[in-house]
A and B are shown apart, each in its own frame.
Chain A
Amino acid sequence: MSSPQKKDDRLFVRDGRRSYRRSYSLTEFRLGLGVVVVLVLITAWILWKGAHSDPALFAASVGNDAPAASGPADRGPLPPSLAAPGWHERTLAWFDATNLYVKINGREDYYKSFGFQRLGFVSLVQDADTTRIVDVEFFDQGSAANALGAQSGERSPEQGVQVGASGFINASTNAMFMTHGRYYVRAIGADTTAATRAQLDHVGRVLAAHLPSEPLPWAYALFAGQLGIDPGRVAFMPENAFSFGFARDVYAARLEDSEIFVVAAPTEAAAKELAQRFEKGFADLADDVRTASGVRWARDRYLATLAGVVTDGRWLIGVRGAPDVARGRAALDGLRAGLRALPSEVIDRAFAKPVATQPGPGEGTAEAGPGAVSGKDLPPASEPAYPEER
C-alpha cells in the first residue's frame, strides 16, 4: 500500500491502477478460442483458393457470349443493330480522347492526329459458331476530310477504293474499311469465309443507309473530278504534312511517278509565305537547289527526285518526287489548270472555313449545298468490293 507521500508524488493517476474485472468465465475463454480457430480456418481457405483458382471462372468470363442487353444503350449515331441475321451484338463500348489508348494503345495518336472525337466498339458474333467474330470500330473523326485522311493513311498504296455516296469503301479478304461523312469505320473479321464477308457487307450497307451524309471535301472535285485521279490516291494531312510541322490542311494525290499537293491559304500573302517555308523545308533535304521554268527545284539527297512549289493567288500548289524538271513542271501546270477549272462554288468551299470547325453531332447536319461534292460526281472505281482470295 502506497504511503501518503508516494501518492502525493504521483503526477497523473493518483489512485493507481485498479482492475475492474477480477475474473472471467471458462465458457467465454472456450468460445473465444473457437472463434480464433474459425478465423484461422477461413484465412487458410482463402489462401488455398487463391492459389488454386477455378479455371471455369476464367472460361465463363471470356466465353460470355450472352447477347447485348436490350434497351436503348447510348448508340450515338449507330443504327439499332449492326448484326446480320444469324449474328448478334455484344455490348457496345465507347471511348473518348481520355481513354482511347485503352482500346487502341500505341496507335491512338494516329487517330487523334485526324481530329478524333470518339470511338464506338462492338463485336458481332455468329450464333452458330461463336468463334466467328467481326469487330466493328466506329471512329468519329469530326469531319469528312479527317475521316478520309485517316482511311487513306491506313490503306496500302496499291489498294483502290469503291466510291460511295458520302465516302469510300475499301475491303480486304477479312476486313472492310469505309468512311461516311465524318465517320471512319473499320470492320475486322478473324477469317476470310463467306459468312464473315457477308457480315462485313451487311455492316457497310446498314451504316451507309443510316448515317448522315456529308459532302466530300472540295479537293476531290479537283483531283478526281478535274484531273481524273483515282479518289483512292487522294490523301488529306491535317497536320505535319511531309513531316513539316508548319504544313497543315494539305491535300495530296499520288500520280504514277510523283505526288502533287495543294493548300488553300487564307490570303495571297499567306500563300507566298507558306511557299517560302516549303521551299526551305525541301532545300533542307536536298543536295542541290536550282531554279528552272520559274520554280525553285530541290533535289532530294537520298531519292534524287525533285520537289517544288508555286503560288497562284491564294493557292499553294506543289509537287514531290518528280523525276525531272519537265515532268515536275507539267504536274504543276496540270494542277494549276485543274484549280482554275473548278466551279466557283467549290472554290468558295475550299476557302470557307477550317476543316477542324465542322459541326459536331447534334449541331446540324452538313447539308449538301451548292458546290458540294458527292461521291456520285466522281468516276467509279474499277476495284471490286472485295478482293478475291489469292
Chain B
Amino acid sequence: MASHPCEEPDDVQARAEHRAIERRTFLKQAGAVAGLAAAAGWAALAPARWPLSLRDRDGERAKPKPRTLNLPAGGFALESLAAAKLGVARGTDIPKMLRGAIEAIGGLNRFVRTGDVVLVKPNVAFERPAVLGATTNPEVLAALVQLVYEAGAKEVRVVDNPIESPESCFHRSGIYQAAVDTKARVYLPVSGDFETLNVAGATWIENWPFFWRPFQGVDKVIGVAPVKDHNLCRASMTTKNWYGLLGGRRNQFHQDIHGIIADLAFMMRPTFVVLDGTRVLHRCGPTGGNLSDVREGRTIVASTDSLAADAFGWQDLLQRGDEALPNYFALAAARGLGNPDWHALPLREVRVG
C-alpha cells in the first residue's frame, strides 16, 4: 500500500485497517444481498413442488382453500342395514298411521334419546300447495315432529334447500306453518350456511357444497319424503330426498340422475326414513300441478333402509310393479347401501282405520 510521504506510520496503519474493515463490511453486505436475491429468486421461480417454492403462475395456489367437512363416519344410522325392517301403516288418521309405521320398526324411543337434537328433512322443493303432492304433506311433518318431541328430543330442526325462494316454498307448501305450530326450528338456507362436504368415494359429490349449518350438533337425522313420479329418474322418494341438502349448481347432476341418487345414498345414512304415501303424485312429476295427477295413497312407510322403502313405494304406491326398478336402485345396492328387495325384509303392516 503506497503511503503519502507526510503520513506518519501510525496513520498509514490506521488507514490500512480501515480499508480492511470496509472490505469486510462490503463483503458481508454483498453476501447478504446476494443471499436475499437468491432466496427471492428461488421462492419465485423454483418449480411449485420444490421445497420453499412460492411459484404461482395461475394464481390458484394463492386462493383460499375452502375447508371441507365430513359427516360422522357411519352417518346417523343406529343399526346396520342387515337389521332393517319395514313398517307400513294404512288408513286416514295421519298421526296414528305415523305412530303405527314407526312402532312397526321398533318405536321412536329406539331411535331418539332424551336430549337429542334431531334434524328432519322434508321435501319442500316447489312453491306448490300441499294438495298437489309435490312436497311432503305438512300433516305428516307435524305428526313426526310431535312424536320426536314426545320421545324426549331437545330440539327438532326442519331443513331443506329449495332452489327458488325458500321462504315461498316453505310457506306455500304449509311446511313452515306445520313446523312453527309444533315448535320445530326452521332453517332457511343462506349462502353462508354452506360448507364443502367431503364424501370420499362418491362419483359426483366427493367435494360439494352442503347445507351444513343445521347439521352442527345434530344427533339424529330423519328423512320424510312424498311419493312422486319423476320425468328423469321415474320416481322421487326417500333416497332422492337428500338432493335438497346440496348447494351449488346441482342441476348439472341431472345428466346422470341415477348416479347422483346413488351418491346421495352414499352421502347420507339417516337414522330412519318416512315415506309419505298419504298422497301419490303418479304423473307429471316432480312438479305436478294437476289434481287429477294425484291420488290418495293413505299409506305411511317407515324403515332404516331407504332403498327398501323406495322399492315398496315404487311397487305398491306408484303401482309400477310390472316395470323394472329405476337404475339408481341397482347402483346403490351394488355399493351395499340398501336392499331393493323389500320382500326380504321383516315387514309389519298395520291398519289404523
Write the residues of chain A forming the contact surface with B, with a CB cutoff of 8 angstroms: 8-9, 11, 55, 58, 61-63, 101-110, 133, 135, 137, 154, 156, 159, 172-175, 177, 186, 188, 190-192, 387
Instruction: Kindly list chain A residues whose C-beta atoms are within 8 Å of the C-beta of B29.
Output: 11
Complex Cα distance, B132 from A317, in Å, reads 39
Apart from A62-B167, A109-B231, A174-B132, what are 14 other A-B pairs with CB-CB below 8 Å?
A8-B21, A62-B171, A101-B163, A104-B287, A106-B231, A106-B232, A106-B233, A106-B285, A107-B285, A107-B286, A109-B232, A137-B289, A154-B290, A156-B283
B80 at the interface (CB under 8 A from A): no
Q: Which residues of A contact B285 (CB under 8 A)?
A: 106-107
Known: A8-B21, A11-B28, A58-B167. A106 touches B254 (CB 8 A): yes
B209-265 at interface with A (beta carbon < 8 Å): 230-233, 236, 251, 254, 257
CA distance A387 to B176 in the complex (A): 33
B291 lies within 8 A of A175 (CB)? yes
Within 8 A of A (CB), among B270-310: 283-287, 289-293
Q: How far is the CA of A12 from the CA of B136 in the complex (A)?
A: 72
- A107–B283 CA distance with the chains assembled, in angstroms: 12
* B291 and A106 contact, CB distance less than 8 A: no
Q: Which of A103, A105, A109, A137 has the most CB of B within 10 A?
A: A105
Q: Which chain B residues lie closer than 8 Å to A192 at the CB level?
A: 291
Residues of B within 8 A of A190 (CB): 129, 131-132
Cα separation A133 to B128 with both chains bound (whole Å): 10
A107 to B257, CA, bound (A): 12
Chain A CB count within 10 A is highest, among B126, B170, B290, B293, for B290
Q: Is the CB of B231 within 8 A of A107?
A: yes
B10 cross-chain contacts in A, Cβ below 8 A: none
**Is B112 located at the chain interface by the 8 A CB criterion?**
no
- Residues in A whose Cβ lies below 8 Å from that of B188: 58
Q: What separation, in Å, do the CA atoms of A106 and B163 have in the docked complex?
A: 11
Total interface residues on B, using CB and 8 Å? 40
Residues of B with C-beta under 8 A to A11: 28-29, 32
Closest to A103 in B: B164
Do the beta carbons of B25 and A8 come within 8 Å of each other? yes
Known: A8-B25, A11-B29, A110-B231. A105 touches B163 (CB 8 A): yes
Residue B168 interfacial (CB < 8 Å): yes
Residues on B with beta carbons closer than 8 Å to the beta carbon of A159: 292
Chain B nearest CB: distance from A148 CB in Å?
Answer: 16
Q: How far is the CB of B166 from chain A (nearest CB, A)?
A: 10
A-B contact pairs, 11 of them (CB 8 A): A61-B167, A63-B171, A105-B251, A106-B254, A106-B257, A106-B286, A107-B231, A107-B285, A173-B291, A174-B131, A190-B131
What are the 7 tightest A-B residue pairs by CB atom distance, in nearest-first order? Answer: A101-B251, A190-B129, A62-B171, A188-B289, A174-B291, A172-B292, A62-B167
Q: Which residues of B contact A58 (CB under 8 A)?
A: 167, 176, 188
Of all chain A residues, which has the CB nearest B323?
A302
Asked if B332 is at the interface (CB within 8 A of a chain A CB), the reply is no
Let me know if A175 and B289 touch, CB within 8 A.
yes
Inter-chain CA distance A173–B21, complex, in Å, is: 103
* Min CB gap B47→A, angstroms: 31
Known A109-B231, A109-B232: A102·B164 in contact at CB below 8 Å: yes
Q: Does B197 contact A (CB under 8 A)?
A: no
Report B-chain residues with C-beta under 8 Å of the C-beta of A173.
291-292
Q: How far is the CA of A58 from the CA of B254 in the complex (A)?
A: 31
A229 to B293, CA, bound (A): 24
Q: In B141-174, which residues have CB < 8 Å from any A CB?
A: 163-164, 167-168, 170-172
Q: Is B125 an interface residue (CB 8 A)?
A: yes
In the bound complex, residues from chain B placing their C-beta under 8 Å from that of A387 are: 292
In the assembled complex, the Cα of A328 lies from the Cα of B232 at a distance in Å of: 32
- Considering only CB atoms, which chain A residue lies closest to B31 in the complex? A11
Contact among A61, A103, A106 for B236, CB-based, below 8 A: A106
Q: How far is the CA of A135 from the CA of B129 in the complex (A)?
A: 11
Tell me the bound Cα distance from A145 to B200 in angstroms: 47
Contacting residues, chain A, for B164 (C-beta < 8 A): 102-103
Which residues from B are CB-within-8-Å of A62? 167-168, 170-171, 176
Contact with A along B112-128 (1 / 0, CB 8 A): 00000000000001111
